[in-house]
């Protein structure tokens, strides 16, 4: 499920629902490339929401590369020790990532690629 090369928009909702909305996963890095219309997000322990359950499998770092049509980032607060994902909501081709302690990323994406990093 995590290593599928390319996730197309018809699979967005099912993908993130199966991952528990990536709740509490720590965001390590965000890189935006407007020339190639890509948003790269690296997170650690994407399945932390399942810790203590049999579904939990530790994965150190996961990289998403979203190929977006439009991108809107609102007030991400960086002055805390860590920034994490509160939840991920999907409607059609729009992915909304709520950031904790504060912020939101709205991506209207064509598709995204997910890979596990060492």
Q: Where are the domains of the chain?
A: 6-117
**What is the pairing mode between strands 61-74 and 38-44?**
antiparallel
- pTM passes above 0.85: yes
pLDDT at 46 over 80: yes
Question: Sorting pLDDT into bands at 50, 70 and 90, what band is 60?
Answer: confident
Q: What is the 3-state secondary structure (H, E, C) of the chain?
A: CCCCCEEEHHHHHHHHHHCHHHCCCEEEEEEEECCCCEEEEEEECCCHHHCCCCCCCCCCEEEEEEEEEEEEEECCCCCCCCCEEEEEEEECCEEEEEEECCCEEEEEEEEEEEEEEC
Distance from the Cα of residue 73 to its chain's centroid:
13
> In this predicted model, what pLDDT tens digit does every residue of 2-43 receive, in sequence order?
555 788 888 999 999 988 999 999 999 999 999 999 999 999
Contact between 16 and 22 under an 8 Å Cβ cutoff? The reply is yes
CA atoms within 13 A on the CB side of 109: 27
- Of 106, 83, 81, 104, the closest CA to residue 25 belongs to 83
């Amino acid at each position: 499920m995590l290593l599928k090369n390319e996730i197309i928009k018809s699979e967005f909702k099912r993908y993130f629902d199966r991952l528990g909305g990536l709740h509490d996963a720590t965001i390590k890095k965000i890189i935006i490339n407007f020339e190639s219309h890509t948003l790269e997000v690296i997170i650690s322990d994407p399945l932390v929401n399942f810790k203590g359950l049999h579904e939990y499998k530790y994965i150190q770092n996961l990289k998403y590369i979203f190929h977006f049509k439009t991108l809107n980032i609102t007030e991400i607060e960086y002055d805390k020790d860590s920034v994490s994902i509160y939840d991920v909501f999907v409607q059609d081709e729009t992915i909304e990532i709520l950031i904790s302690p504060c912020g939101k990323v709205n991506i209207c994406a064509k598709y995204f690629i997910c890979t596990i990093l060492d």
